[in-house]
Structure 1
Amino acid sequence: MHPDTSPATTRPDAVMSDAEAAVEARRIIADAYRPAPTTPTAYRDTSPLPTRGDTPPVIQPGRPPMSQGATDASVLMLAGGAMTAMVGGTAAVLMYVSQYADPLVCGLVFGAPTALLLALARLLKGAKPEPDTHHHYDGPVYQDQRNIHTRTTGVWAKTTNQP
C-alpha cells in the first residue's frame, strides 16, 4: 500500500531526507514500470449458435441487405451518376475556358455519347436469346402446361382466372 500523499497529510514546508527521497523515487519508478493490468479487451464466445431463437436479426455494417437485382440497379445508378457528373463537368470547364462555346452545341456533343452508350446497353440487354430448355425423362411422363390469365377488378376486389 502506498503512503497517503493527499494535501491534508503533506506539509508544504516539509523536506524529505535522502532515505525518504530514495524510497519515494523507487516507488515512483516501480509504479511506472509495473505491467498493465490483464483486463481482457476482447472476448470471443465459441459456444455453438442455436439453429433457432427469439433474438431478432441485427443489421450488419456496410450496404443494407438487398436482392441481387436491386444491388445491380444500385451499382448501375451510381455508375450512371458518376458518368453524368464527369461529362457535365467537362462541358462546364470547356464552356468556361473558351468563353465562346454555345451551351446547346456542348449539350449535343457531350450528351450524344452518353445517349449512344445507354441505347447500346439497352439493345445488348434485349438481344439475349432465351435459354434452351431440355428435359430428359426416363419412363412415362405426363406434362400439363396451362396459361392462366388473371384479372382483378372493382372496389371489392374480384379475381377472375381463365385458362
Structure 2
Amino acid sequence: MTDAEAKAEAQRIIEKNFRPEVPVVRHIPTSFRDDSPLPPYGDTPPVHQDDKRIVPAWATGIAVASIGVGAGVTGIGCGAWLVFQGLASVTLYGVLMVTLPFAGAAMVATAIGGAISKARNEVTKNVYEGPVVQNTQINNTSNQRGMLSRTRNDVR
C-alpha cells in the first residue's frame, strides 16, 4: 500500500468511527393540519381526524376500578348522611318508632312465658317438719354519727 492509499484509508476509518452521529428523528405528527380551502363564508365543515391511541389493559382496569370505588364510597357517604340527619332530628315519635320492635318482642316473650307457666301443673311441696319457733324480741341499735346514720334491727 502506498502512502497516499494508506492516508486515504486512515482518513476513511477516522471519519467512519469518530464522526458525530446524527440522531434518528421520527417525525410523528402530534397535531392535524387541514390544508383544504376554507369556504368564503359560514362555518368550516368538520374533517375526520384519525385517532390511533392505544390504552393499556391495566390502565383501563384501574380507571374502571376507581370509578367503582368512587361510586361505592359515594353511596356509603349518602347512607351515613341520611342516618346522621335522622339522628340529628330526634323526636318522640322517632324514638317510639325505633323502640317499637323491641317492645313488641318483649310483649311476645312475656305472653309466651305466661302461657308456659299457666300450662304447667302446679305442684305444692310444703313439708313442715320440726318445731316452729316464733321470736318476738327485737334489738334496735342506732348509730348516728356524721353525715350518714345507720339503724339496725336484729330479730332474735
Q: Same fold (TM over 0.5)?
A: no
Structure having the larger proportion of residues in helix: 2
Of structures 1 and 2, the larger Rg is shown by: 2
Q: What TM-score, normalized to structure 1?
A: 0.22
Q: What TM-score, normalized to structure 2?
A: 0.23
